[in-house]
Amino acid sequence: MKKTLLGLLLLIAFSVSAQKMNSNKKNLVASVEKHKSELIKISDSIWALAETAFEEHESAEILADYAEKNGMTVERGVAGIPTAFTATYGSGKPVISILGEFDALPGISQKAQPTKEPLNKGAAGHGCGHNLFGAASLGAAIATKELIEQGKLTGTIKFMGTPSEEKFFGKIWMVREGLWDDVDVNLSWHPSAKTEADVQSTLALVDFKVEFYGQAAHASGDPWNGRSASDALELYTTGINYYREHIKPTVRIHYHIQDGGQVVNVVPDYSKLWVRVRDTKRSGMMPVYEQVKKMAEGAAIMANVDYKISLISGIYEVLVNRAGGEAMQKNLELLGPLSYTPEETAFGKKIQEATGKPQLGMDSAIMPLEETKEHPGGGSTDVGDVSWNVPNINLGVTVAPKDTPWHSWAVVACGGMSIGHKGMVQAAKALGMTAVDLFENPKLIEKIKAEYKQRKGSEKYVPIIPEGPPPIEGN
């Protein structure tokens, strides 16, 4: 009885919301529903493939092929990246782009079940939900394309297939190639444990490698003839850890030892460390980066070895746009909250139990539009670089239960079943409805652009990547 009543109330709420939608938005929602089964199939295929940074060949092709099948013009291998592509339809202004990611994370393969068990032992998994990300964004782009094709909207829609968000940040090279130069507004979303128009920034990040070169020797027979690269590495990490006391609370430094020597009885002549520095603003991050680089030289001097620092890449914090966020919020409220079956709620609670969280189930609420924080916490994304080149509107949609650890097997599990599918479809609708607003309302675009210019100010965007092509070879 309770289940029937709840379903009736949700149906009434949706009917009321649908009445408030204009005809273009109703048609867009209907289009997403028409493509839903194919979008789920695409998402599940990418979920099973779980291809990592710059290796997403099959995943990119699945998305590009579906865009092409639905009448969009596809350009593959853009910006010198084999797995990057664009899919375009229409002509003239405005030009609206929608981002789609599809790379996985190493080592977290998982079956679509609420207990930890790898699908393929040691393999990658979509612990950030990018299988859902790419499919939903493409669904929104195709639904918008159909409205342009029918003469109900005028302008150009672009789907941006953006690889390697988790490691090398492929969007930076795509930005450098000028792929957003003609775009008026960009739309993006990210899988989340809550649904919200996202008006918080992210952390700027710089990603680099430190290598030490010494002299090998027998660790017992003649260690005095050795110069230990491992000693330099340990001195360097010790310096970083002492430095933590003297940096602002907004800064994050973390590292991964990739090579500390091979055997115990050899003084190692080589060591390697992967380091990241983050802060809420690029302007705060760069001085810390410069100091940490100096510390590598100091460690090399103390261990009497040589050293080398190689920049991998770096990303800007997201430039927030509240005018765009307000438009997105209205569309989320028009759509109404997600609903879950008893089986999905039970699945969510089991995920929470397995990860040591309170068993609260799924959070179906639409979060109110927050005040933008000056120094938010959280992660980093190369969407930031896009947002410094074109106004960006961002969205988060629930695809996993409340408090689920991100970048974990638990998100992989949810992304391969109906909880993730529901969030994906909802994201496609919200993105597409906001695209409709932009096509229909030139004054909204003007307002969004005015805020973008005000927030960016006089700062000139300079990509934080080395000269030359993206690091495809030897990845």
Measured CA to CA, the distance from residue 336 to residue 14 in angstroms comes to: 7
Whether residues 357 and 420 share a domain: the answer is yes
Residue 347 lies in a domain: yes
Residue 428, domain extent: 20-202+317-456
pLDDT at 473: 80
Digit-coded pLDDT (tens) for 358-378? 999 999 999 999 999 999 988
Calculate the alpha carbon distances from 353 to 373, 377, 406 in Å.
32, 26, 15
pLDDT given at position 6: 44
Please check whether residues 304 and 417 belong to one and the same domain: no
Q: Average pLDDT for residues 393-416, to the nearest whole number?
A: 97
Residue 261: φ, ψ to 5°? 110, 160
Residues forming a β-bridge with 277: 206, 253
Strand residues in 112-202 grouped as ranges (E):
156-161, 185-192, 196-198
Q: What is the mean pLDDT of residues 419-433?
A: 98
Token digits of residue 430 = 């919200």
CATH code for the domain in which residue 291 is found: 3.30.70.360
Residue 130 tokens read as 């990018």
Q: Which of 289, 314, 339 is the last residue of a domain?
A: 314
Tell whether 261 is covered by a domain: yes
Distant-in-sequence, close-in-space partners of 211: CB < 8 Å, separation ≥ 6: 270, 271, 272, 273, 307, 308, 309, 310
Residues 286 and 386 grouped into a single domain: no
**Do 275 and 349 fall into the same domain?**
no
**Is residue 324 one of the residues assigned to a domain?**
yes
Mean pLDDT to the nearest integer, 91-110 = 98
Tell whether 124 is covered by a domain.
yes
What pLDDT was estimated at residue 1? 46
Are residues 364 and 351 part of one domain?
Answer: yes
* Alpha carbon distance 68, 74 (integer Å): 6
Sheet holding 95-100, edge to edge: 73-76, 85-90, 156-161, 95-100, 185-192, 392-398, 196-198
Residue 464 falls inside a structural domain: no
CATH of the domain at 352: 3.40.630.10
Tokens encoding 429:
């609708």
- Ranges of H-type helices in 50-72: 57-69
Which are the contacts of 346, defined by CB distance < 8 A and separation ≥ 6?
Answer: none
Find the range with the poorest average confidence among 18-22, 90-94, 249-253.
18-22
The values of phi and psi at residue 86, to 5°, are: -125, 150
In a shared domain, residues 62 and 195: yes
* pLDDT (average), residues 92-106: 98
Mean local confidence (pLDDT), 224-247: 98
* CA 170 from centroid of its chain's CA atoms: 11
Token pair, residue 47, equals 């979920």
Please enumerate in sequence order all residues whose Cβ is within 8 A of that of 11, keeping only pairs 6 or more positions apart, or say none: none
Number of domains in the chain: 2
For the chain, what is the mean pLDDT? 95
Per-residue DSSP letter, 125: B
Q: Quick check: is 468 in a domain? A: no
DSSP-assigned letters across all residues of 365-404: PBPPPPPPPSS--S---THHHHHTTS-EEEEEEE-S-TTP
Q: Is residue 5 part of a domain?
A: no
* Same domain, yes or no: 324 and 303: no
Give, rounded to a whole angstrom, the gap between the first and last alpha carbons of the chain: 56
Residue 400 has pLDDT above 90, yes or no: yes
Of 161, 202, 199, 204, nearest to 448 by C-alpha is 199
Look up tokens 């302007």; give the residue.
283
Does residue 262 sit in the same domain as residue 116?
no
Q: State residue 18's pLDDT score.
A: 58
The three-state secondary structure class of 292 is: helix
Question: Quick one: 309 and 364 in the same domain?
Answer: no
Q: Hey, how many other C-beta atoms are within 10 angstroms of the C-beta on 14?
A: 15
| Model pLDDT, residue 17 | 55
- Count Cβ neighbours within 10 Å for each residue of 23-51 and write b for 16 or more, e otherwise: ebbebbbebbeebbebbbebbbebbbbbb
Flag whether the pTM goes above 0.85. Answer: yes
pLDDT in tens, 149-202: 999 999 999 999 999 999 999 999 999 999 999 999 999 999 999 999 999 999
Distance from chain centroid for Cα 181 = 21
Q: Find all residues with CB under 8 Å of 99, minimum gap 6, and list them.
A: 137, 160, 162, 171, 186, 187, 188, 383, 386
* 273 shares its domain with 338: no
Please tell me whether residues 289 and 362 are part of one structural domain: no
As given in the structure block, the two tokens for residue 434 are 């906001």
Rg (CA), the chain: 24
- Of 314, 347, 381, the one marking the end of a domain is 314
How do residues 108-156 score in pLDDT, each as one tens digit? 999 999 999 999 999 999 999 999 999 999 999 999 999 999 999 999 9
Name, in order, each residue with C-beta under 8 angstroms of 160's C-beta and a sequence gap of 6 or more: 86, 97, 98, 99, 100, 174, 179, 180, 186
Mean pLDDT of 274-282: 97
Which pLDDT does position 19 carry in this prediction?
Answer: 61
In terms of C-beta density within 10 A (0-12 exposed, 13-18 middle, 19 or more buried), how is residue 8 classed?
exposed
Residue 20 is predicted with a pLDDT of: 84
Q: Is residue 1 assigned to a domain?
A: no
| pLDDT tens-place string over residues 17-47 | 556 899 999 999 999 999 999 999 999 999 9
Q: What is the mean pLDDT of residues 293-309?
A: 98
* CA angle, residues 172, 256, 227, in degrees to nearest 5: 115
Claim to verify: residue 171 and residue 46 sit in the same structural domain: yes
pLDDT of residue 331: 98
